[in-house]
A and B are shown apart, each in its own frame.
Chain A
Amino acid sequence: MQLKRVVITGIGVVTPLGNSIGSFIEGLETGRSAVRFMEEWTKYIGMRSHVAAPAELKDEKKIPRQSRRSMGRMSIFAVQAAEQALADSEIAPAGLSSGRTGCVIGSTMGSSRSINDVFEMMLPDRDLTKLPSTMFFQCMSHTASANVAQYLGLTGYIAATAAACASGLQAVGAGYDLIRLGRQDIILCGGAEELHPTVTGSFDVLFATSAKYNQTPQKTPRPFDKERDGLVCGEGSGILVLEEYEHAIKRNAKIYAEITGYSTCGSGSHMSQSDKRSMIKCMNEALQNAQMTPEKIDYINAHATGTPQGDTEEAGAIKEIFGDAVPVSSLKGHIGHTLGASGAIELIASLLMMEKNIIYPTLNLDEVSPDCAGLNHITKPVAKEVSTILKNCFAFGGINASLVCRKI
């Protein structure tokens, strides 16, 4: 069976640096951090980390009420990013209900605020009668995907990936497979996530968050840095339009890149600890899938969240495959860790680096930690021809994902 080629023809974002591709890129270009002190989190007993990278919820009333009522914060982000991506792709709305267009959008879980609200409403009196009819639609695991599909009238393959911080990249990988196999012509792929103290709290209890920089929030997270002390949660959504190559060519679409390789695998070793061996396996499989050797990669967009253990494992894995030849950076210093959205948002940033032939650096990487040394760390913007990229995501549950793209 001849596999189809898959290209990316549209992108859209809501990020802590702005709610459009333009504002996002401007933030990266100017080296801005979106991390701030979260005064409202200081009331939680035991919460060590009081920093986060919030996105701005705006223009939500432009979504008609009967569509909006089933959307929590993250689904609104996803719908807004999907609308941008669709407009960018210039796909005619008529094609959305052909049955050949679908969406795969992932997140760690449903809207954390809505889930919290349900329990706030229900638990004090054990009373279900106060619950609004649409709360479940905001809380369900596939809320972002279902809301985007309903809002846009998509009638093809609709699914959600749920692999914590690898959800967004797994969604892109799933879309890639669906189009390669000829099952769909177009898939809107990506991830969405929202900030909430319960989300940051879940990392905080594991001592995985950054807690030393509450008074100097712009200095954290610090991927690969000697003084890194954990991750900082962010929120937002990134959506990409994936399209079958001939389909895109026929309508003369703008093509950002071709997806040429993808792999996802489990570590099988630990629920929360990253694992270098399985990361190596994942990246190597993605390269093999792309029929590329490591030296052909021009840029690696690392997962690197700023946790001591995770960054060490990823740096070790990259070093073993690529040595110090390939430029590496992480964007978590700019936008924090947008969890289930991170794979998609950061892949979009990487595509824009390809378009502009510039590599954005790792913010807050002042002194490379000895256990992360031996890589070509990018600490200042670098002008360079970027024709191929590799994007990594690693998640709780021992889940790894790596994706390879090339310019065409």
Chain B
Amino acid sequence: MTEQEIIDKTNKVFEESFEIEKDKLTPGAHIFTDLGLDSLDIVDLVVALQKSFGVKIRNEEKVRNIRTLQDIYDFISAIKNEDAGKSS
């Protein structure tokens, strides 16, 4: 999965699940202060990302460190690379 595919899929989650306009979805956007998510949304964000990317991240400690959209792109990228490493 390319970097751009990860960005597009992640942004789609924010557009569809959280009804956030496309132009607000910049890599540096803070998911709480800029995009308005709260603690309940984070639960739904994890569910949506799991579904979108076919990954299991619910119990990942690193989820707690996510602050910006770039953090999510990097996090998913790392998980995907880890998975690819395991399968090869």
Q: Which residues of A are at the interface with B, using a C-beta cutoff of 8 A?
A: 65-66, 69, 129-134
Residues of B with C-beta under 8 A to A133? 40-41, 43-44, 47
- Nearest CB on B from A69, distance (A): 7
- Which among A65, A69, A129 is the interface contact of B47 at CB below 8 angstroms? A129
CB distance A66 to B36 under 8 Å?
yes
**Sample of 24 A–B contacts (CB below 8 Å):** A65-B18, A65-B19, A66-B36, A66-B38, A66-B41, A69-B40, A69-B44, A129-B47, A129-B50, A129-B56, A129-B58, A130-B47, A130-B51, A131-B47, A132-B43, A132-B44, A132-B47, A133-B40, A133-B41, A133-B43, A133-B44, A133-B47, A134-B40, A134-B44
Docked complex Cα distance between A69 and B17 (Å): 10
Q: Which of A65, A129, A130, A133 neighbours the largest number of chain B CB atoms within 10 Å of its CB?
A: A133
Docked complex Cα distance between A69 and B41 (Å): 9
Docked complex Cα distance between A66 and B38 (Å): 9
In the complex, the chain B residue whose C-beta lies closest to that of A69 is: B40
Q: Which of B19, B36, B38, B50 neighbours the largest number of chain A CB atoms within 10 Å of its CB?
A: B19
Q: A65-B18, A66-B36, A133-B44 are in contact. List 16 more A-B contacts (CB 8 A).
A: A65-B19, A66-B38, A66-B41, A69-B40, A129-B47, A129-B50, A129-B56, A129-B58, A130-B47, A130-B51, A131-B47, A132-B43, A132-B44, A133-B40, A133-B41, A133-B43
- Nearest CB on A from B7, distance (A): 22
Docked complex Cα distance between A132 and B16 (Å): 14
Which residues, 33 to 52 on B, are CB-close (under 8 Å) to A?
36, 38, 40-41, 43-44, 47, 50-51
Docked complex Cα distance between A70 and B58 (Å): 21
Residues of B with C-beta under 8 A to A66? 36, 38, 41
In the complex, the chain A residue whose C-beta lies closest to that of B58 is: A129
In the complex, the chain B residue whose C-beta lies closest to that of A65 is: B19
Docked complex Cα distance between A69 and B43 (Å): 13
- Nearest CB on A from B79, distance (A): 16
Residues of A with C-beta under 8 A to B44? 69, 132-134
Residues of A with C-beta under 8 A to B18? 65
Docked complex Cα distance between A69 and B39 (Å): 13
In the complex, the chain B residue whose C-beta lies closest to that of A137 is: B40
